[in-house]
Amino acid sequence: MSTPLNVVALSGGTGRPSRTLALTEAILAELGHHLHIKAQLIELGDIARPLGGALWRSELPDSVEQQLRLIEKADLLVVTTPVYRGSFPGHFKHLFDLIGQDALIDTPVLLAATGGSERHALVLDHQLRPLFSFLQALTLPIGVYASQAELADYRVTSEALAARIRLAAERAVPLFAAHHVLRKSA
């Protein structure tokens, strides 16, 4: 068995339950069907307060510093955020302001977002993708946007959303050939 792919997921939701967390977990589960992964999940809500109190990286408490290092060392990042005012939340941006400017160069990033409205789906391409382009990360071509209605009861309840998650994972798989899960045919 190959060394597992180190997948780090950041869920940008700040409450519980969280649709953003539900989407993140669904993406991780789908990736796990195709790839041999070790998944580590960071919930922004767990670190947002100490993170927000630090203006410089050196001011971060150790526990939060460890989470930023996880992000910087990922083989694949899954980044999921709720839409706030047509973009990502300020505390989400603050986290990436404290990530090393060169730390994500060439890191593959699967982008995902949840929003109240279907009309903000372009947040992936107009807000998230430029941020990760600045960081010289390799954003995957297919991201996943989910509206509130598709995550009723904080679960993936829409078949169309499930299909988008599958497509995003399937399109990511060829990048990580060494980690493919070989399935026995029925």
Ligand X SMILES: Cc1cc2nc3c(=O)[nH]c(=O)nc-3n(C[C@H](O)[C@H](O)[C@H](O)COP(=O)(O)O)c2cc1C
Can you give the binding site for ligand X, defined by CB under 6 A? 13, 15, 18-20, 82-86, 114-117, 120, 148
Smallest gap from residue 67 Cβ to ligand X (A): 18
Q: Which of 5, 4, 2, 9 is nearest to 109 (CA)?
A: 9
Smallest gap from residue 177 Cβ to ligand X (A): 33
Smallest gap from residue 123 Cβ to ligand X (A): 8
Smallest gap from residue 82 Cβ to ligand X (A): 3
Identity at 85, one-letter amino acid code: R
Q: Which is nearer to ligand X, 67 or 80 (CB)?
A: 80
Count of Cβ atoms closer than 10 Å to residue 75 Cβ: 18
Alpha-carbon gap, residue 113 to 11, rounded angstroms: 9
Q: Which of 81, 119, 72, 120 is nearest to 100 (CA)?
A: 72
Q: Which is nearer to ligand X, 37 or 123 (CB)?
A: 123
Alpha-carbon gap, residue 50 to 63, rounded angstroms: 9
Q: Which is nearer to ligand X, 162 or 175 (CB)?
A: 162
Alpha-carbon gap, residue 51 to 92, rounded angstroms: 10
Q: Which is nearer to ligand X, 83 or 98 (CB)?
A: 83
